[in-house]
Structure 1
Amino acid sequence: MNKNEKKQKELSYYHLYLQKHLQENRFEQADDTAFIETRAELAASAYEQARRGGYPIEGAQELVMQTLLKGLHHSRYAILREVIANEFAYEIPKAQQEAFTRKLLPLVDNVFSIYDLSDDLFAQSLDYDLLYSELTGAVVLYLAEYGV
Structure 2
Amino acid sequence: MRKKNDGRGYDLDYYTLYLHRYLTEHRFPEADDEVLIAARAEAAANVYVESRLAGDEVFVSSEKAMHSLLDGFEISPYEFVSGILADEFSDHISLDERSIEFWTDTFLQELQAEFNDIELSGEFLNTNEGVIFKLVISGRIAEYFDEYGL
User: Which TM bucket (shorter chain)?
Assistant: 0.7 to 0.9
> Can you list the C-alpha shifts for 1:1-53, whole angstroms capped at 9, x where unaligned?
xxxxxxxx997221112112222333332111121111111111211221222
Shift of 1:134: 0.8
Q: Equivalents in 2 of 1:129, 1:21: separation in Å?
A: 26
Structure 2 gaps of 5+ residues are 1-9
Q: Name the SS for the 1:79 alignment partner.
A: helix
Show the 5 A alignment for 1:11-22: 12-22=13-23
- Does the CA-based 8 Å contact 2:45-2:65 persist in structure 1? yes
Equivalent residue, structure 1, for 2:145 = 143
67-76 or 41-50, which deviates more = 67-76
Structure 1 gaps of 5+ residues are 1-8
Q: Does 1:67 align with 2:72?
A: no
**Given the alignment, which residue of 107, 111, 114 partners 1:104?**
107
Shift of 1:118: 6.4
Shift of 1:133: 0.7
Equivalent residue, structure 1, for 2:130 = 128
119-128 or 11-20, which deviates more = 119-128
The number of residue pairs the alignment matches comes to 139
Corresponding letter in the other structure for 1:121: E
Q: Name the SS for the 1:26 alignment partner.
A: coil
Task: Specify whether residues 97 and 117 from structure 1 end up closer, same or farther in structure 2 by C-alpha distance, changes over 3 A only.
Answer: same
- Does the CA-based 8 Å contact 2:44-2:65 persist in structure 1? yes
Pair member with larger Rg: 2
Task: Specify whether residues 120 and 90 from structure 1 end up closer, same or farther in structure 2 by C-alpha distance, changes over 3 A only.
Answer: closer
Shift of 1:120: 7.8
Shift of 1:107: 0.7
Corresponding letter in the other structure for 2:138: T
Shift of 1:80: 1.1
Identity of aligned residues (%): 31
126-135 or 21-30, which deviates more = 21-30
Q: Name the SS for the 2:111 alignment partner.
A: helix
Q: Equivalents in 1 of 2:30, 2:75: separation in Å?
A: 13
Corresponding letter in the other structure for 1:54: G
Q: CA RMSD in A?
A: 2.5
> Can you list the C-alpha shifts for 1:36-83, whole angstroms capped at 9, x where unaligned?
111111111211221222222332222112210122223322211221
51-60 or 119-128, which deviates more = 119-128
- Does the CA-based 8 Å contact 2:23-2:31 persist in structure 1? yes
